[in-house]
Amino acid sequence: MSENRIYNFNAGPAALPLPVLEEIQSSFLNFQNSGMSVTEISHRSTYFDDVINDAVDRAKRLLKLDDRFRVLFIQGGASMQFAMIPMNFLANGKTADFVNTGTWSTKAINEARLLDKKINVVASSEDKDFSYIPKDITFSKDADFIHLTSNNTIKGTQWADFPDTNGVPIIADMSSDIFSRTLDMEKFGMIYAGAQKNLGPSGTCMVILRQDLLDKAEDALPTMLKYSTYADKNSMYNTPPCFGIYTIDLVLKWIEEEMGGLEKVEEFNIQKAAVLYDFIDSSSFYRTTAEKYSKSLMNVTFRLPTEELEQKFIAMATEKGFGGLKGHRSVGGCRASIYNAATKEGMKALVNFMDAFEGENK
């Protein structure tokens, strides 16, 4: 761990790769010898053209996207997508299937209903407090798309494999696990992600959208709520979140050039999560909250024997330099968010701390 830096397990805004932060630091006052900070350059300049085009190109290479896909940057976070998606894709009596796996899925469903759109909730894990990912789902034959949340940050569950939808495009909220593993993009019409968990700072949402969906999108909408507005202007209809896009570009560069691509990242994340899960599974003191085959590689949610011990654990962890281990306010408990930037060193240090805490408090 670098001097004065903690082991950061925050769920979002979350840890960024240290090399990315160091590159930002070194170029912050004089970006590309421009004499300006990256926060000062014009979004209409060639400097920023190079940044946003590089981010688009790297995203396409990492996900092996062909020319059917557009990479967009939109403000408003993933939460604004909950409304934009039904507004753009559910006009004129169209219908969609939604799978409810927790808070963020629920919010997306509620936004579609608020807009009085025709949707079907075809599966839910609410019966077991969202502790698992539903299987053997029967999707509607007439659905125009299927919406799901790939990773539940609050309950610590994740789709290990995406369902067979008989060719109906999946639209997936991937805010907390985008670029953490390889994807078969043939299944997806759109993926989107708030940047602040696995991509960059808050304030930017990456949207990867297939052209055939874009071509069928509703056009009679407010300008800033139409995907075509962003696609037609390379995400620069108005001033985009320049610093966020710059940081995303550096993170994608780190994934591609230092980590070696998504295959290597996926292998790294599996190994990293196993360090923590193997320890918890072998313990009679800690227990995970997600069912075995639904456990997230990004957010490890766990409980201790009592809430009093959980509070003591979180307080002591903070003193020892382990930040962000408090569970979401809606569920309590503990949570270690171990996105791409989390290190194996950090995982081993956390396990050592947890082992010592168990020994002292059993």
Q: Which tokens sit at 327?
A: 């569970």
Among residues 117, 155, 197, 226, the one annotated as catalytic is: 197
* Torsion angle (degrees, nearest 10) of CA 171, 119, 232, 247: -40
How far is 158 from 197, CA to CA, in rounded Å? 15
Q: Is 197 a catalytic residue?
A: yes
Q: Is 104 a catalytic residue?
A: yes
Could you write out the three-class secondary structure of 296-341? CCCEEEEECCCHHHHHHHHHHHHHCCEECCECCCCCCCEEEECCCC
Among residues 117, 144, 155, 173, the one annotated as catalytic is: 173
CB-based contacts of 88, cutoff 8 Å, min separation 6: 217, 218, 221, 225, 226, 227
CB atoms within 10 A of CB 67: 7
User: Cβ distance 349 to 5 under 8 Å?
Assistant: no
Among residues 104, 177, 254, 326, the one annotated as catalytic is: 104
How far is 97 from 134, CA to CA, in rounded Å? 14
Range 256-259, long-range pairs (CB < 8 A, 24+ positions): 256/58, 256/61, 256/62, 258/17, 258/19, 259/340
* Torsion angle (degrees, nearest 10) of CA 14, 19, 20, 24: 120
Q: Is 173 a catalytic residue?
A: yes
DSSP class of 255:
I
Query: Sign of torsion, CA 38 43 44 49?
Result: positive
The distance in angstroms from the start CA to the end CA of the chain is 29
Q: Nearest-CA neighbor of 262 among 60, 8, 14, 45?
A: 60
Catalytic residue IDs: 104, 173, 197
